Structure formats: C-alpha cells, structure tokens
Amino acid sequence: MNNRDVIVACDFASAEETLRFLERFGTERPFLKIGMELYYAEGPQIVRTLKDRGHGVFLDLKLHDIPNTVKKAMRVLSCLGADIVNLHAAGTRAMMEAALEGLQRPDGTRPKLIAVTQLTSTDQAAMEQELLIREPIDEVVLHYARNAKAAGLDGVVCSPLEAGKVHASCGDSFLAVTPGVRFADGEVGDQKRVTTPARAKELGSDYIVVGRPITQAEDPVDAWRRCLQDFR
C-alpha cells in the first residue's frame, strides 16, 4: 500500500469553526474526517462543502441498525460524495452485506466501506462484564475484521498495534485505518494506547486518523506536514 495518508479529524462544533481552521492550510487540501458532532450540527451540506473545496472526506457516522435500514441509509450517504464511510462490525455480516448493497452512486462508483471493530474506549473488562464477550480483545478485533472482509468491506478501523495482524489475516489491500496517533513529545489526552506516525507506518497502517495533535497545535499546518512526512 503506497497511498498512505493522514486523515485530520475535524472534531469541531460547526462549519464556521471547521472552515476557519481550514483557512490556515491555504491551497493545501488535507484528507478530513467528519464525525457525528459536526455532521449532526451541520447536516449533509458539510460533506458537500468540503468535497467541493477539494478535500478527501471520511464520513465517520458508525452506522449500526437492522440490515434494511442501514442499506437505505448507505444509499443516501453514498450520494453525498464522501470517499470513506463506516459502520459497526458488531451489526453482523448480514448488516455489512446490506450496507454494501446500499452503497451505490448513479455513476457506478461507491465510497469505500470500513468497519469499526471494538471501540478503543472498550476494554477487556467492559467487554466481558457488560457485553458477555469472553475472548481476548485482540482476537475479537481480528474476528470482526475477518467478518468484515467476508462481507466484502474494504477495511477496518483499528489500533495501529493491530494493523499488522489485520493485514496478515485479511490481506494487504484490506485497509487498516488507525486513530490513537501522537507525536513522541505530545499530549496523550484520553487515548490509551498510542503510537507515533512513524511507528504507525512501520506497523502497517494505511491511513492514520489524527485529531488534537493537529487541530490543537500552535501551527496545525506544520503539525500536519510533520505527520505526513513521518508517515509516508
């Protein structure tokens, strides 16, 4: 995989705040992630706006519902122009297959579809005690990745620490999109298991999702360039 890229998590509350942040990038067009906060605040127009300005967009809405509902929702989302969309692998293979059926644009193209395995905020204890899943968490992540692969998806969201195993199990072209990235000298915040951009590259990530180390940096453009340089 040689088109590794850095995806900047636009965890902002409004389009105005997002566009003000992006102004600093001048003519540069970083790949962006739109999450629930921004999407629910601004609606589908924010996706169209950022696509029209020339950004790659990962629309991170993590769908999880009955197959028919997810299929129809994916049909709507695919027409917004996002490059990557996602869902929860926990919704089962039937839901993932239905999602893929729904992902169609009139011109025959579709966004890439990736699955969240286990959220990085879920730990072994919560999985066992609340979800009654007794297997080791890294096995669960791999099992969900294999389900996603079997359903025809393009990849998973996982920790960089799991990227190598995901590729070994699901193939090199199956994408490992990984948050939890920090500079060696940076704040960790609420992320538990973090790696640097350079280490994420060594571990086999295809895309790193980076929020605060770029959005909260004194010079976000410089931080983004550093990420790109270290990761590519």
67 vs 179, beta carbon nearer ligand C5P: 179
DSSP character for 14? S
Which helix (H) or strand (E) element contains residue 57?
strand 57-63
Residue 197 beta carbon to ligand C5P: minimum distance, rounded to whole angstroms: 11
107 vs 218, beta carbon nearer ligand C5P: 218
Alpha carbons 27 and 226: distance in angstroms, whole number:
17
User: Within 10 Å of residue 111's Cβ, how many Cβ atoms?
Assistant: 22
Please name which of 3, 20, 4 lies closest in space to residue 12, comparing C-alpha atoms: 20
DSSP character for 85? E
Find the largest Cα–Cα distance for the chain.
50
Q: In the complex, which residues of this chain contact ligand C5P (CB under 6 A)?
A: 9, 11, 35, 119-120, 157, 179-180, 189, 191, 209-213
174 vs 183, beta carbon nearer ligand C5P: 183
- Residues with a catalytic annotation lie at 62
User: Within 10 Å of residue 218's Cβ, how many Cβ atoms?
Assistant: 6
Q: Give the residue ranges of DSSP H helices in 67-136.
A: 67-78, 93-102, 124-131
Tokens 């990235």 correspond to what residue? 181
Tokens found for residue 197? 């951009």
11 vs 42, beta carbon nearer ligand C5P: 11
Residue 211 beta carbon to ligand C5P: minimum distance, rounded to whole angstroms: 2
CB 31 within 8 A of CB 7: yes
Residue 73 beta carbon to ligand C5P: minimum distance, rounded to whole angstroms: 19
Position closest to ligand C5P via CB: 211
Residue 186 beta carbon to ligand C5P: minimum distance, rounded to whole angstroms: 10
Tokens found for residue 217? 């940096």
151 vs 209, beta carbon nearer ligand C5P: 209
What single letter denotes the amino acid at residue 11? D
Pairing of strands 155-157, 57-63: unpaired
Residue 50 beta carbon to ligand C5P: minimum distance, rounded to whole angstroms: 15
